[in-house]
Chains A and B, each alone.
Chain A
């Protein structure tokens, strides 16, 4: 079974631009979560989508948004990029069984904002 895939793997943008990252979950997984990883803040939860609905949201500004499609694929968008948005963005999918949420992570998209 294929794992979680993320595209692109690397991105370079300039301040003020916007960016869209894509995540394809493991087949059959309906929950997709996004995390931002930086050296200073560590791993921080952005949001989670389940069956095309945002189910939970972390403490990030409105410039960060996401969506999920009917095939469970998800995208996240960051508008008006700032230097501090440079990070590794990780996507994770999960198959929720009996209340246990085990998440499987993709390789991440490395975003550099210049």
Chain B
């Protein structure tokens, strides 16, 4: 079945540091890929998405490129801020027209210190 693997956390960075969070996936079809962010005490917010190979999703300085050859969707940001501290989830949706289930990775907690 479908699965998403994220790098182990937590991750602690200093403000303005470069961020990379690794994500790889296994899917039988051609999934759409997502990064969601969860701030303390809140639900999930969609951060960015990519729907086909070589697509680059971007939002709020974050970027991720859909790499079919390596089945990866790594999240990057050039300069993190304290306000980026949150839990980040990589997810896929192998939408077939019959369902819209999301499969999530375990999430990784990012802490950014001033």
B43 at interface, CB cutoff 8 A: yes
In the complex, the answer to whether B98 meets A55 with C-beta atoms within 8 Å is yes
Taking A42-B107, A43-B107, A100-B51 as contacts, is the C-beta distance between A48 and B101 under 8 angstroms?
Answer: yes
Nearest CB to that of B99 among chain A residues? Answer: A56
**One of A11-19, A65-73, A77-85, A104-112 contacting the partner:** A104-112
B85 at interface, CB cutoff 8 A: no
A90 at interface, CB cutoff 8 A: yes
In the complex, the answer to whether B93 meets A107 with C-beta atoms within 8 Å is no
B102 at interface, CB cutoff 8 A: yes
The range of chain A's interface size is 20 to 34
Selected contact of B44 from candidates A90, A100, A101, CB within 8 Å: A90
In the complex, the answer to whether B89 meets A43 with C-beta atoms within 8 Å is yes
A24 at interface, CB cutoff 8 A: no
In the complex, the answer to whether B43 meets A90 with C-beta atoms within 8 Å is yes
In the complex, the answer to whether A33 meets B102 with C-beta atoms within 8 Å is yes
CB of B43 to closest CB in A, whole Å: 4
Bitwise, B89-102 to A at CB < 8 A (1) or not (0) is 10001010111111
A-contacting residues of B (Cβ < 8 Å)? Answer: 32, 34, 36, 42-46, 49, 51, 89, 93, 95, 97-107
**Nearest 3 CB-CB pairings of A with B:** A101-B100, A56-B99, A43-B104
* A-B CB contact pairs (8 Å), 21 listed: A4-B43, A6-B43, A33-B101, A33-B102, A42-B104, A42-B105, A42-B107, A55-B99, A56-B98, A90-B44, A92-B102, A94-B100, A96-B95, A100-B95, A101-B93, A102-B34, A102-B46, A102-B49, A103-B100, A105-B45, A107-B42
